[in-house]
Amino acid sequence: MKRLPEKVRRLIRQKDGPQTQELVLHPGKFGLGQIPARLEPDDTTTLVCGFCSTGCGLKAHLRKGEAINLSADPDYPVNLGMACPKGWEALTPLRAHDRATTPLLRNRASGRLESIDWEGALILFCERLKEIKRAHGPESVAFLSTGQIVTEEMAFLGALFKFGMGFLHCDSNTRQCMATSHVAYKQSFGFDAPPYTYADFEQSDVLIFVGSNPCIAHPIMWQRVMQNSRNPTIIVIDPRKTETAMAATIHLPIRPKSDLMLLYGLAKILVDEGWINRSYIDTHTEDFNQFATFLEKLSLSEVAARSGISLTQLRQVAKVIHEGECVSFWWTMGVNQGHEATRTAQAIINLALMTGNIGRPGTGANSITGQCNAMGSRLFANVTSLLGGHDFASAQDRTKIAQLLQIQQSAIPTQDSWPYDRIIEGIKEGKIKALWIIATNSAHSWVDHDDLKRAFRKLDFLVVQDMFTTTETAELADLILPAAGWGEKDGTFINSERRIGLVKKVARAPGVALSDFKIFRLIAHYWGCGPQFSRWSSPEAVFELLKEASRNQPCDFSGIESYAHLDRCGGIQWPYRSHDTLDNNERRLFVDGKFFTANQHARFLFAEPVSPPETPDLEFPLWLLSGRGTSSQWHSQSRTAKSDVLRKLYPEHLYVEVNPVDAKKLGIDSGLRVMVSTRRGSLTATAFVTSTVSPGSIFLPMHYPEVNRLTIAVFDLHSRQPSYKACAARLEV
Ligand code: SF4
């Protein structure tokens, strides 16, 4: 076996050691401003939360250089001293019993995972992938990554995989939550650019939430709404009477997946009544006349019939939009996870543009992101766009990035990777033979996951790089690479309002687990492309490269001096160019009405609404909706289920919400075990009879492992995001 250079051996030996050691190695890393140059034992430091995209600032209280507790940071501009239960409990999963503490290799004979050292694991990893590449070509290996690791790691992974190892196909679990917003913004605004700042929650006099339940999904954003002193009108468009709908002024309980139709109906009323901002449209947009012509053909009675919302209510909502001085539109997964999601998101954007509700305080067409670093993934993961929101297909962009990274331009692919669903299809077709999964739990979270698990079993080599050994995906792995989690490593996240926030190491990873960053460095070495990544020596060194990659892009943050600068300021939103000063740390985009398209005009984009591919019928007569359960649960629960405190805050077992009308028809009472089936499979759940769902619909919370056995593999045409929100189901006692 090849002898390793001393610096690599040191990297392995060093693992994610005590924080004090790191700080001595890098004095001043967190220095300047609020944080002392060297953390002393029993000190306090600040870092951004690692669950959702709100990006709250937390204070880590340290003893001997390690965090023993957390509290909400009162000075951070995002959360102003508030945190949801997940944030308060964020340290607990780090101490879970099922942490991956050493590399594990499956013994083919016994089927058991057995411990192996890092050197053996990484040599095997590289040899197996090289062997598969030699036999089947560079398109035979793929990775699926995450919106949960720091931007520097995402960028490293994408660059290593594509430019160093010479592979092509990769995607991220952000495909499941934010791909629609990414594509919608890119097409409408010319760049993936959520335009708002959280101050807009406080400055609107009308807030419209479409398929969004911030009360539990983004509770701290909802607290910002609660701080709005303008007595705003809050409108919720959602098939369920969610916690947010209950708190709203007006709730439109639309029929599942009639959102696009309803939004066009509102646009038609606004045009017909002349309630549009002609001067804004003429000066700052294009293709409005085509949109207006399209709307002429729309029948409002059909809109009412399809959506289940009366014409009177539609007119009432249109009037509220017209009379609002500062109207903001917000959407989340109810929009993004649909069969015509991109056009639905753009229908919301169209409403903001045609009424001139953008670029001013309290306005905007605002997509609320899901995961803590989904925005980092969208711009810097090197998956669907080249670093910094550049385009793989553009020779000019490839030249810029090749020069910056000091690599051959030919190392940069000229085409996009396959999206997630195509990668799964590629496995089924036998084209993809090896898959590397980093910090995501596909076997829980992907649609129709029994089908996905069958596909994974066909792989020649499945590698899972994760904090835990017990996720549904890790249980299928041939090789597990143990990774440090949030709080055990350094880097940055980008939150929903484009704020780059700092994440720090405040705890030591267990066993010989390493940060994803160090794992990527080691893989570069064992693969033989280490010298190509010699400048990728630390997260902050990569941050410097990413600053340069962003230069002259809309997301330009080349003016951020250092990690310490971020720390001092409470995070900084992009853009922040080299000549910028931070007079205001809550900034929105498009104040000047100039968008990122070639002619600086935003585009009206639209399409004829179509029915979902699967709708209720005689065999499966109900709509099945799925979504978030409580603010104490996070996605596939690999972390939140580890906290005794959080577990007390949500139901232990899977439940299904059933309307009283359907419950009576089927003889169901709350507490009864019932069977829920779709064309993909069945599960049992405890019935919860409630009017939160309308007659004809049932709801399952997404966090329980069996739920995605039922969901359907249908995808939006433009974003390839799965449609989790509606399929046909049956309920039986
Ligand atoms: Fe963390 Fe999101 Fe909760 Fe804030 S709202 S504490 S970012 S999980």
Span 104-163, pLDDT tens digits: 999 989 999 999 999 999 999 999 999 999 999 999 999 999 999 999 999 999 999 999
The pLDDT assigned to 8 comes to 45
Q: What is the pLDDT of residues 188-234, one digit of tens each?
A: 999 999 999 999 999 999 999 999 999 999 999 999 999 999 999 99
Task: Write down the pLDDT at residue 12.
Answer: 44
Cα-to-centroid distance, 186 and ligand 1 (Å): 27
Residue list, ligand 1 pocket, CB within 6 Å: 49, 51-52, 54-56, 79, 83-84, 86-87, 219-220
Q: Could you tell me which residues come within 8 angstroms of residue 439 by beta carbon, excluding any fewer than 6 positions away?
A: 145, 146, 148, 149, 465, 466, 467, 483, 516
Ligand 1, atom 3, residue with closest C-alpha: 84
Q: From 47, 48, 51, give the residue whose CB has the most ligand 1 atoms within 8 Å, as the site to mutate.
A: 51
The pLDDT value given to residue 20 = 28
What tokens were used for 11? Answer: 């990297």
pLDDT tens, residue by residue, 280-327: 999 999 999 999 999 999 999 999 999 999 999 999 999 999 999 999
Reply yes or no on whether the pLDDT at 29 is more than 70. Answer: no
Query: Which atom of ligand 1 lies closest to the CA of 495?
Result: 7
* Helical (H) or strand (E) element with 71: strand 66-72
pLDDT score of 675 more than 60:
yes
Q: 417-465, pLDDT tens digit by residue?
A: 999 999 999 999 999 999 999 999 999 999 999 999 999 999 999 999 9
Model pLDDT for residues 52-92, shown as the tens digit of each residue: 999 999 999 999 889 999 999 999 999 999 999 999 999 99
Report pLDDT for 39.
54
The alpha carbon of 495 and the centre of ligand 1 are apart by a number of angstroms equal to 11
pLDDT at 726 over 80: yes
Q: How far apart are CA 733 and CA 727, in angstroms?
A: 20
Q: How confident is the model at residue 384 (pLDDT cuts 50, 70, 90)?
A: confident
Report the percentage of the chain scoring pLDDT > 70. 94
The C-alpha atoms of residue 32 and residue 38 are separated, in whole angstroms, by: 10
**pTM for the whole structure:** 0.93
Mean pLDDT of 345-361: 98
- Spatial contact of 490 and 25, defined as CB atoms under 8 Å apart: no
Cα(383) to ligand 1 centroid in Å equals 26
pLDDT band at 2 (very low <50, low <70, confident <90, very high): very low
Compute, in angstroms, the gap from residue 704 CA to the centroid of ligand 1: 20
**Whose CA is closest to atom 1 on ligand 1?**
87
5 has pLDDT over 70: no
Q: Please tell me the predicted confidence (pLDDT) of residue 372.
A: 94
**Average pLDDT for the chain:** 94
Residue with tokens 């001043």: 28
Ligand 1 centroid – CA 219 distance (Å) = 7
Q: How many CA atoms lie within 13 A of 2 on its CB side?
A: 14
Q: Which two tokens stand for residue 115?
A: 């411990």
Choose the residue to mutate in 86, 493, 494, 633 for probing ligand 1, maximizing ligand atoms within 8 Å of C-beta.
86
Give residue 27's pLDDT band: very low, low, confident or very high (50, 70, 90). Answer: very low
Residue 37 neighbours by CB under 8 Å, 6+ apart: 27, 28, 30, 31
Q: In what order do the strands lie in the sheet with 141-145?
A: 113-115, 104-106, 479-482, 461-466, 434-438, 141-145, 169-172
> What length does the chain have?
733
User: Closest ligand 1 atom, CA of 54?
Assistant: 7
Contacts of 250 (CB under 8 A, 6+ apart): 233, 234, 235, 236, 313, 316, 317, 320
Q: How far is the CA of 83 from the centre of ligand 1 (A)?
A: 6
Ligand 1 atom with minimal separation from the 79 CA: 4
pLDDT computed for residue 13 by the predictor: 44
Backbone phi and psi for residue 35, each to the nearest 5 degrees, phi listed first: -100, 130
Q: Report the atom number in ligand 1 closest to the C-alpha of 55.
A: 7
Q: Say how far residue 120 (Cα) sits from the centre of its chain.
A: 33
User: Which tens digit of pLDDT belongs to each residue from 304-313?
Assistant: 999 999 999 9
Compute, in angstroms, the gap from residue 319 CA to the centroid of ligand 1: 35
Q: Hey, which of 46, 47, 52 would you mutate to test ligand 1's pocket, going by the most ligand atoms within 8 Å of its Cβ?
A: 52
Judge whether 644 and 696 are in contact, CB under 8 Å.
Answer: no
* Residue 691, helix vs strand vs coil: coil
Token digits for 261?
A: 């139709």
Across the beta sheet with 66-72, the strand order is: 44-48, 57-63, 66-72
Which pLDDT belongs to residue 64? 87
Tell me the C-alpha distance between 401 and 236, whole Å: 43
CA distance 635 to 627: 10
For residue 687, which amino acid is it?
A
Distance of CA 422 to the CA centre of its chain: 19
Q: Cα dist. 541→148, 322, 536, 588 in Å?
A: 20, 49, 6, 28
In this predicted model, which residue has the larger pLDDT, 40 or 77? 77
Which ligand 1 atom sits nearest the alpha carbon of residue 51?
A: 8
Atom of ligand 1 at shortest distance to CA of 219? 5
Tokens of 215: 């009360």
Q: Which protein residue has the closest C-alpha to ligand 1 atom 6?
A: 87
What CA–CA distance (Å, rounded) separates 344 from 332?
11
**DSSP-derived secondary structure for 206-234:** EEEEES--HHHHSHHHHHHHHT-TT--EE
Residue 37 has pLDDT above 50, yes or no: no
Q: Which atom of ligand 1 is nearest to the CA of 50?
A: 1
Q: Which atom of ligand 1 is nearest to the CA of 220?
A: 5
**Hey, which of 48, 49, 224 would you mutate to test ligand 1's pocket, going by the most ligand atoms within 8 Å of its Cβ?**
49
Q: How far is the CA of 215 from the centre of ligand 1 (A)?
A: 12
Protein residue whose Cα sits closest to atom 4 of ligand 1: 56
- Is pLDDT of 38 > 90? no
The whole-number average pLDDT for the span 717-724 is: 96
